[in-house]
Amino acid sequence: MRVFRVIALIGFIAFFVGFVAPDHAVAGEKFKVRIVKHNTKWHPIAVPCEGGKVVGSFEEKGVSTNMGGKAIWEGWADTAVGLWEANSKTGVGLGYGYSESTDRDGDKIYPRWEGKKAQGDSRSGGTTTIAKGTGKWEGIQGQGARVTTAVAPGQSYNDIEWDIGLPPR
């Protein structure tokens, strides 16, 4: 009886690993992408109890480059919207938002991102996850690590290292 249970457990694990887990796994294609962008809207609201702290909504527009020369995210239009909380006295910030990346054919990928800026750090860092894709990108999955570097007021770039499962073609 005990041997039967062990065999059944091994069979269940093999079934899960072979059939269920791949549907939720990322294929592991690696991409490095840079998105150069500029701020088109910024609506800060001062936090009344803390001097120097604001919560703001924003919109940014830009263009992406695939740093490995691949077609995905190469020359795509990018729009990002989000909320950012920042303290000008301490230099600390945190936020989250959503992006729309549009390829040359009009198909889209929609990532969701979040990030933090630590005191004394000139850049912010965080994660991004693909929420969905349209057209040829329907079924895409992925996540990545992102670093945002400000280069001038209202101008910055994101470096994202993606781990992506491309949809079957």
Which tens digits make up the pLDDT trace of 22-69? Answer: 333 345 799 999 999 999 999 999 999 888 999 999 999 999 999 999
Please tell me what DSSP assigns to residue 69. Answer: -
More confident residue, 87 or 19: 87
Q: Which of 30, 100, 114 is nearest to 63 (CA)?
A: 100
**Contact of 126 with 114, CB cutoff 8 Å:** yes
Task: Report residue 130 as tokens.
Answer: 């693909």
- pLDDT in the model for residue 2: 53
pLDDT value of residue 13? 53
Q: What percent of the chain has pLDDT over 70?
A: 84
The single residue listed with the structure tokens 């990928």 is: 109
- CA 29 to chain centroid, in Å, comes to 15
pLDDT tens, 148-157? 999 999 999 9
**Residue 9 pLDDT exceeds 80:** no
| pTM attached to this predicted model | 0.80
Say which residue, 100 or 10, is predicted with more confidence.
Answer: 100
Question: Would the pLDDT of 169 be above 80?
Answer: no
- Tell me the fold of 28-165: AOC barrel-like (2.40.350)
More confident residue, 14 or 106: 106
Of 44, 36, 42, nearest in space to 150 by CA: 36
